[in-house]
Amino acid sequence: MFPTEKIASGTLNALLFYCSVMGILLYIATLLRIKIKLFKNLFIPASLIAGTLGLILGQYGIGVLPPEMTQSWGAMPGRLITIVFAPMLIGLTIPNPKKVGNLIGPQLIFGYVGDFIQIGIPFIITALILKPLWNVNDMIGSIVEIGWCGGHGTAGGMIDVFKQLNWEDGGPLGLTSATVGLFIGIIVGMIIINYGVRKGYTSVLKSEDSINSSVSYDIIPQSEQQAAAVTTINKDVVESFAFHGSLISIAIFIGWILQKQIASALNIGMPLFPMAMIGGLIVQLAIAKTKIADAVDVRTLQRIQGLALEFLIIGAIASIKVPVVVAYAVPLLILMISTAIITVLYFFWAGPRIFKNEWFEHSIVNFGALTGVTAVGLMLLRTVDPEMKTEASRAFALRAPFFSPFAGGGLITSILPVLAVKYGALKTGIMFLGIAVVLLIAARVMGFWGKPNLEQSSVAHSRK
């Protein structure tokens, strides 16, 4: 029996104990990730392994972990995602679109069109196939974009939204979608990379043998270790991490006020995490012209985000309600497979037409982000461009302020279930596909669409 009898459920002691068990699972998962070659070759993150261990040990597995523990873990993603989103716009310098338009324009077109296809197609499939045959809820069409491009964090944050809209099954299905998307992003992404190298589509890697050599160390040697954050404020005043935590707290508090005001004015359920992101923008605007701005270290904020995200993923996966997933197995499988096929076809069709140079590198980072969030996209990019010789990483980073607040877990993602309830799956799907078509027409007008050039010469040669 797991030693929880003397810890009253729902107390702070219980929360501390539950979090300590999550930490133990993460430590074990880290050792497994380092020691087991399969996990390394497939780039499976330790948090995903830890969450799977928690699921196996939980009430739907061998039952070692008590239900109240995994249920508490299941409530954490909706709160931790707010910590992830709140600092997203703090300390951020918005690039001038006029100066970098030619660089970020194709990235935005590819990203938004891919995201809207990922919304539109599942909704249309829901309306024309899934609902007539299995009488599913219209909102099921939203779980692909929520889970894939949004990731476990967004899927966890949307649990309360689905509950407010009287469809509690949406929570576990969204988390399952995120897990599937993560595997598709990694595994299918690596298959695409191997294929692209063989066909000569890549600009840097020219042989499959060099793919494994581009993978960095699991444990970075001391001689190569770099500071992940810097101290920006005198410790006699306040600990730097605590100061950055206070900024995040202010952003969340502003977001909470915005959430309540919008819910009262429009009578709709709005999740807290996108509002906290807007709260972060308000914080940034307030401090931008003050000395406090010099005390903001974006890397410190990223470390706090990363900590929250690791535990978020563990809690999200470990608390998946397996019976719900089993009940929706066939509709879920149809959505996952069809969207995966369409996303791969979109990669090869749009990539060489939208990106004039280094199309494969620009497209693969977006493919990873569309299926398994930004971290997977950057991992795939580092695999084909380990020294970041192409412009793909810079372009992808510059487009973030114009993409992340809206799609792939942003404002658009947060209202998808509401749109499905109000307008139905078919109208919602057609609307987003229509927007995608408009964007492609705009790309052609602006010169971001041309004749495909699949085979790439070396980076050095292509820039002469």
Mean pLDDT of the chain: 88
* pLDDT at residue 462 greater than cutoff 70: no
* pLDDT at residue 319 greater than cutoff 50: yes
Q: Are 99 and 130 spatial neighbours (Cβ–Cβ below 8 Å)?
A: no
Backbone angles phi, psi at 4, to 5 degrees: -120, 0
> Which band of pLDDT confidence, cut at 50, 70 and 90, is reported for residue 389?
confident
Residue that is written with structure tokens 């730097």 in the block: 240
Tokens matching residue 263: 């819910």
Tokens matching residue 459: 């980076």
Sign of CA dihedral 179, 180, 184, 185: negative
Closest by Cα among 256, 286, 238 to 83: 256
* pLDDT at residue 7 greater than cutoff 80: no
Per-residue pLDDT at 5: 54
* Of residues 388 and 236, more confidently modeled: 236
* pLDDT at residue 448 greater than cutoff 60: yes
Fill in the amino acid letter for 7: I
What is the Cα–Cα distance from 84 to 152, expressed in whole angstroms? 11
Cα→Cα distances 235→232, 242, 243, Å:
9, 10, 10
Sign of CA dihedral 89, 442, 146, 151: negative
Fill in the amino acid letter for 351: G
What is the Cα–Cα distance from 369 to 39, expressed in whole angstroms? 20
What is the Cα–Cα distance from 186 to 22, expressed in whole angstroms? 24
Q: Are 168 and 25 spatial neighbours (Cβ–Cβ below 8 Å)?
A: no
- What is the separation, in whole angstroms, between the first and last Cα of the chain? 68
Q: Within 13 A of 222's CA, how many CA atoms are on the CB side?
A: 0
Cα→Cα distances 423→302, 420, 427, 449, Å:
37, 6, 6, 32
- DSSP 3-state helix, strand, coil percentages of the chain (rounded to 5)? 70, 0, 30
Per-residue pLDDT at 464: 43
Per-residue pLDDT at 4: 54
Per-residue pLDDT at 459: 54
What is the Cα–Cα distance from 422 to 268, expressed in whole angstroms? 11
pLDDT digit string, tens, across residues 394-436: 888 888 888 888 898 888 998 999 999 999 999 999 999 999 9
b/e map of 180-209 (b: 16 or more CB within 10 Å)? Answer: bbbbbbbebbbebbeebbeeebbbbbeeee
Query: Among the listed ranges 137-141, 311-315, 434-438, 448-452, which one has the minimum average pLDDT value?
Result: 448-452
